Structure 1
């Protein structure tokens, strides 16, 4: 265990060594540019039952997984036992990068798998042009409706086609229309990890060459850097699924990738073939 602690703190060249530094980044470059509607939705999400504190613990796990993992598990299995999907909220710094990517590629048609309360969805709707459209898929409409009044006040709900469903049938249905093949500019995936590769295969047909697909939670609380034996049992299955999809994405010649250490890790895939 001591050797793993040493490895987990020495291999990283990242500067985010403390919560204070992370808050400095948010306060300096993220929050000042965040729209009032995004801030309102972020605040509602943060105070929603079971979501308080989970995102900060995920950030802490990225910095020192062997020291923080027990705290994360306690919150996940006790404080969040009635609402485990609270961990799906998008980190605001990751959201800022997503907005930049959307602008850089002039995205107009997008897909979002896993909506939660709609922070990344609202951010996307605010970023794409007036005639842009988002296909938003989630099995939990209740969570989406927490943020829906804010999305409506922001005046962008007309850009969103929310579908309450499992994602694979919806993606397959989209592929039945030849007009959708290579018809989307961007996709954001923050959903069930077991299907990430199934989503990826379909998105490689739906998202055009030059388009971008972003996958969330690709560091899985920092456990990807631990051995299976050192990973708490409750996180082992998710860790293995994350390791598998990370390996597949890294070997996929159809995409150029970058795994950014924001939030719980986001992997950015630009389709090149």
Structure 2
């Protein structure tokens, strides 16, 4: 019997009803967020969207960090960027990074409607290029980075992100469970390989402190020591 299994009684089976209870009792909805969530859920690639509990969790982190500058790597319909911007002070900024305007064009009207378009700096280019430009101009000044993009790029984004965040800053990685594919032997695809490799690297990286949470498809958090 594994040591983890001994804590089985401490785990919650998140049924649809229990998840809805959590949302009803911890998510303070902004009307524009609700509208953008509805749009995203009706999109053919809705699986790429972040979830309401993630949004609230990130906003909670930003408040704790007294954050003013964030980076969102992988924008899609702009849900995570919107959540961050709503949690930041008036002089806060979210660098929103994506490779295409195909989906970010959907986000812009909602950012404007929520009154946060002035806080969101959308950069359309390969994320590694934009991150490197920010490293050249704003190293050690970012409070929070959320990485939810191509999985094979996560390690590159991590290394650049470490140069960008301040001491005590946080990087959050989405999809670290890969819907359970990280457990399969052999690993079934390059995304699972990339995430499994990163998970092992983060565990043993002396530059950071690490924690993981079973939120959505798994989130790993690191803070720079």
| TM-score between the two structures when normalised by the length of structure 2 | 0.92
Q: Are the counterparts in 2 of residues 88 and 191 from structure 1 also a CA contact under 8 Å?
A: no
1:262 to 211, 215, 218: 215
Instruction: Output one character per residue of 1:65-103: Cα deviation in whole Å (capped at 9) or x when no partner.
Output: xxxxxxxxxxxxxxxxxxxxx432111111111110000
1:26 to 5, 19, 23: 23
Matched, 1:158 2:118: yes
Match of 1:208 in 2: 166
Q: Are the counterparts in 2 of residues 94 and 266 from structure 1 also a CA contact under 8 Å?
A: no
Q: Are the counterparts in 1 of residues 143 and 170 from structure 2 also a CA contact under 8 Å?
A: yes
* RMSD, matched Cα: 1.8
Listed as ranges, the matches of 1:112-131 within 5 Å are: 112-131=72-91
Q: What displacement does 1:188 show?
A: 0.6
SS at match of 1:147: helix
Match of 2:199 in 1: 246
2: distance between equivalents of 1:99 and 1:196? 22
Provide runs of 4+ in structure 1 moved above 6 Å.
Answer: 8-11
SS at match of 1:218: coil
Structure 1 residues not aligned, in runs of 5+: 1-7, 52-85
Q: Are the counterparts in 1 of residues 147 and 173 from structure 2 also a CA contact under 8 Å?
A: yes
Match of 1:106 in 2: 66
Matched, 1:87 2:76: no
Instruction: Output one character per residue of 1:99-142: Cα deviation in whole Å (capped at 9) or x when no partner.
Output: 10000000001111100000110000000100011111101212
1:42 to 23, 37, 44: 37
2: distance between equivalents of 1:28 and 1:176? 43
Q: Are the counterparts in 2 of residues 182 and 206 from structure 1 also a CA contact under 8 Å?
A: yes
Normalized per residue, the structure richer in helix is 1
2: distance between equivalents of 1:95 and 1:218? 17
SS at match of 1:182: coil
Q: What displacement does 1:11 show?
A: 7.6
Q: Which has the higher contact order (CA 8 A, sep 6+)?
A: 1
Q: What displacement does 1:238 show?
A: 1.7
Instruction: Output one character per residue of 1:201-259: Cα deviation in whole Å (capped at 9) or x when no partner.
Output: 1111110001111111111012223333xx7x5xx322211111111111111111111
Number of residue pairs aligned between Structure 1 and Structure 2? 221
Q: What displacement does 1:10 show?
A: 8.5
Listed as ranges, the matches of 1:210-225 within 5 Å are: 210-225=168-183
Matched, 1:190 2:187: no
Q: Are the counterparts in 2 of residues 134 and 159 from structure 1 also a CA contact under 8 Å?
A: yes
Larger radius of gyration: 1
